Amino acid sequence: MRSTCVIVVVVAAMSVWAGRTGLLVENSYERWVRGEAWQVVIEPEGALRLGPGIVCTGVFPIPMVDAVLVGEDGRIYVSGGGKVYAQRTNGSNELVAAFEEEKVTALAMDKEGTLYLGVTPGGVIYRREKGGVIVRVADTGERYIWGLEVDEEGGLLVATGRRGILQRITFTGSVACVRTLLDSAEENITAIARLGGVVYAGTSPRGYVYRIRGTNEVYLLLDTRASEVTSLLVESNGVVWVATMGSAGGAGVGVGGSGVGSGPAAAVMTGLSGATGTPGTVVSIAPPGGGPNISRVFRITPDGFSEVYWQTSEPVLYGLAQHKDGSVYVGSGNKGRLFALRERGKAALVAQLPARQIVGLRNVGMNDLLVVCTEPALHAVLGAGFSASGRFESAVLQVPDVVRWGRIEIEGNMKRQVRVLTRSGNCEVADKSWSGWEEASENGRIVSPPARGLQYALELGGVGAASPVVRAVKIYYAEPNRAPVLDVVVVSPPHTELAAQVPSPPTPGGGGLLGQFIQEWLAAAGLGSTSGIGVPGVSGAQMMSGVIRLHSFGARTIAWQAQDPNGDALSARVWIGRVGEQPEWILLTKERRQSFLTFNGREWEDGRYRVRVRVSDRGAVAPGEELYAERVSDSFLIDNTPPVIEDVALTMSKDGVRARCRVRDALSNIASLQYVVEGGEARSLVPIDGVFDEQVEDFEVMIVVGRGVRWLRLVASDEQKNVCGVVRRLPAEGNK
């Protein structure tokens, strides 16, 4: 008994999963970057390997960072709201300034270690004196301060909004001298950087980049057509890097607005540049949300030529730094990702931090990179070499139907150092309704339950200085075999033959698409349109095939529309039977691959018939596993007998000949009657009651005839296009 039960279960399972085998392949940067990578690098060529080690070196006692500065004294300064903290090398935080109502949105420090603070709204600059005293030293006259930087002569560069003015402030004792370097006609100066005495400024909402030499030489260097320039980096050789977000005129993140947090930045970070020979680059921090998800990095050569060096769907890019190997690093939100640009158009995802946004970058030590994040507020160091381990989680992979998962196979080297896990579910987002993570079997068999969605995780482990490399992930699955769907069966009007057209596209005249003819015939039968029938797919391709319509006496064409959820090729069997309580079905054809069949109606007795069509996926699945759908057409008439014209009476009068007759048909309604006088054109008549709606119709007409006309011909047809005719000699008086 136990053996019998096992066999039954296995057979049932085979029946359910008798569909075709499918394959999902992940082997490109574009697909992998949709996932999540922790201490795993996604190379632009499409490979996964262990990434550099990431060490969290400190946290800040604020929920969000509004401005950050790596000071000349080696400490990291951050502001959140109205509070400013300095973090010591031992990780402890010292409160160095506090404001009750304003936000500190910009920080800068001169070579002597004097700290400057810009507050918003109000546009006031404060200085922290020895002993920790906070002194108000300048009023910009603007509402927002988005950036501060000390230039090589000790002047303070100030990026402001809402009028988009870049100022330079110098101090003589307690007196501040404010001078405008740039009036951009923009709303905000969002980023500033400098090389020697040359200053660069980025704006919003049109994403301009200006170059300012001295005190009055202003040049528009680049129109990025973005909603905001978020960061600038200047190399010692004069190459300028520009990070942007959004498109000009769009609802870009933080563009415009009237209050704090709705401008181009909730704060500005100073002194986080990796550019050789410059103290720092100001990087604006924009609040999350809004805007088209296109961000770009531009490269401007010293002679002014620019190019889009890289673009991404990341919502916003926040920081730029150049590593000693020449790579340009750029941070992003809102997943805390760090990218390395090593060549035009290509970026490696080198790290994903445990924070929402990367807001600042700076080279430290020999090969390390300082990364400052917000939400939560922390900083970390990205070191050289490989991490000991790392984890990559794919994006959710979706298929149209619930499937049984087969094997997951990875391609690369050191595959034994890669642990593979999966989970599955039917919700588009991997939530609590999904199964838990489970390790694949030793031969790669996925143990997660059947579902529409799958997610895989790769846990990479290094051996010494060597890292595993994954170049592709292949996932096999079996679709359940689904029965075909037969949407409609229709029979053409009489004398209609269809032939396959090669090539397929329709030609003028009698050509067309099979689906169009089906709709036409249904409408002619009073059954309406089928424009909503069917789902285009592989199995429905025959419905879009080109056919030629021919007029062939006695021919009738059966057409059907069907598709298979698995995309299997379908074949059809077609029967015909007389209408009755228990019709006897006579097979017309079997294994028909085309979705139509023409037969000769003249070979069948007069009467009312139906056709029965059965489509199946036989031949596409294992023997005994085929499924089918069946449909019976509406009844249609085969009438090969023409009508009869009887009781013809011709009476002479002074106005001509009055003709009377009756047209009768055994099965069909009368469709037309025409008369032709000798040597004249055919003219149509209407019944006495004015409507062709019966099998017997009476006609009467007055015909004017000329001299010498001796004969009158009457031609009648029924709805089945059967035709009959009679010829009568006109009365002798009609010749006078």
**Residue 469 is part of a domain; what is its CATH number?**
2.60.120
Which one of 337, 366, 384 terminates a domain?
Answer: 384
As for how many domains the chain has, the answer is 4
263/177 same-domain check: yes
Q: What is the pLDDT of residues 129-172, one digit of tens each?
A: 888 899 999 999 999 999 999 998 999 999 999 999 999 999 98
Q: What is the pLDDT of residue 528?
A: 54
Q: Using 50, 70 and 90 to split pLDDT, how confident is the model at 94?
A: very high
Which whole number is the average pLDDT over 666-692?
Answer: 93
Parallel, antiparallel or unpaired: strands 696-703 and 656-664: antiparallel
What is the domain-level CATH number for residue 529?
Answer: 2.60.40.10
Residue 230: pLDDT band (50, 70, 90) is: very high
Residue 534 near residue 563, CB atoms below 8 Å: yes
Higher-pLDDT residue of 697 and 362 is 697
Q: How confident is the model at residue 503 (pLDDT cuts 50, 70, 90)?
A: low
**pLDDT for residue 698 is more than 70:** yes
Domain assignment of residue 5, yes or no: no
**Where does the pLDDT of residue 198 fall: very low under 50, low under 70, confident under 90, or very high at 90 and above?**
very high
Q: Which of the residue ranges 105-109, 271-275, 280-284, 507-511 would you say has the lowest mean pLDDT? A: 280-284
**Burial grade of 588 (CB within 10 A; 0-12, 13-18, 19 or more):** middle
- Is there a domain that residue 1 lies in? no
Q: How many residues does the chain have?
A: 736
pLDDT higher than threshold 90 for residue 333? no
Say what percent of the chain tops pLDDT 90. Answer: 65
Same domain for 68 and 32, yes or no, is no
Residue 12 lies in a domain: no
726 phi and psi, to 5 degrees? -135, 155
Question: Of the candidates 478, 506, 522, which is a domain's last residue?
Answer: 478
For residues 213 and 357, membership in a common domain is answered with: yes
This prediction has a pTM of 0.70
User: Tens digit of pLDDT for each residue in 187-197?
Assistant: 999 999 999 99
Instruction: Kindly tell me if the per-residue pLDDT of 556 is higher than 50.
Output: yes
> For position 502, what pLDDT does the model report?
62
**Which range among 156-165, 193-202, 698-707 shows the weakest confidence by mean pLDDT?**
698-707
Q: Judge if 372 and 510 occupy the same domain.
A: no
Partners of 160 in beta bridges: 145
Q: Are residues 279 and 170 in the same domain?
A: yes
User: In whole numbers, what is the pLDDT of the chain averaged over residues?
Assistant: 85
At 283 the pLDDT is 32
What pLDDT, on a 0 to 100 scale, did the predictor assign at position 12? Answer: 31
pLDDT of residue 74 exceeding 60, the answer is yes
pLDDT at 20: 75
In the numeric block, which tokens belong to residue 79? 């502001």
Q: What is the pLDDT of residue 735?
A: 42
Q: What is the pLDDT of residue 691?
A: 95
Distance CA 79, CA 75 (A): 13
343 and 286 inside one domain? yes
The pLDDT, as a whole number, for residue 334 is 87
Same structural domain, 598 and 452: no
Three-state SS string over 285-336 comes to ECCCCCCCCCEEEEEECCCCCEEEEEEECCCEEEEEEECCCCCEEEEEECCC
Q: 360 with 398, same domain?
A: no
- Confirm whether 6 is domain-assigned: no
CB 612 within 8 A of CB 630: yes
The string of pLDDT tens digits covering residues 595-610 is 999 999 999 999 999 9
- Same domain, yes or no, for 365 and 418? no
- Rounded to an integer, the average pLDDT of 663-686 is 93
- Asked whether residue 125 is domain-assigned, the answer is yes
The answer to whether residue 466 is domain-embedded is yes
Q: Which of 253, 248, 393, 243 is nearest to 320 (CA)?
A: 243
The Cα 339–Cα 637 span in angstroms is 73
Say if residue 119 is in the same domain as residue 200.
Answer: yes
State mean pLDDT over 576-588.
Answer: 90
Q: Which residue has the higher pLDDT, 274 or 55?
A: 55
Residue 30 falls inside a structural domain: yes
Mean pLDDT of all residues in 663-692: 93
Report the C-alpha gap between 214 and 212 in whole angstroms.
Answer: 6
Last residue of a domain, one of 579, 612, 638: 638
Looking at residue 530, its pLDDT comes to 41
State residue 684's pLDDT score.
Answer: 95
Q: Are residues 186 and 236 in the same domain?
A: yes
State both tokens at 618: 């036989």
312-328 residue pLDDT tens: 999 899 889 998 888 99
Which pLDDT score is estimated for 545?
A: 59
Return the pLDDT at 723.
Answer: 94
Exposed e or buried b per residue across 640-654, where buried means at least 16 C-beta atoms within 10 angstroms of its C-beta = eebbebeeeebebee
**CATH value at residue 705:** 2.60.40.650
For residue 120, the cross-strand partners are 103
How far is Cα 349 from Cα 51, in angstroms, rounded to an integer?
9
- β pairing state of 208-213 and 217-223: antiparallel
Q: Do residues 618 and 650 share a domain?
A: no
554 SS3 class: coil
Distance (Å, rounded) from C-alpha 552 to C-alpha 571? Answer: 26
Which DSSP helix (H) or strand (E) runs through 177?
strand 175-183
Give the CATH number, domain containing residue 59. 2.130.10.10
Residue 4 lies in a domain: no
* Domain extent at residue 224: 54-384
Q: Is the pLDDT of residue 9 over 60?
A: no
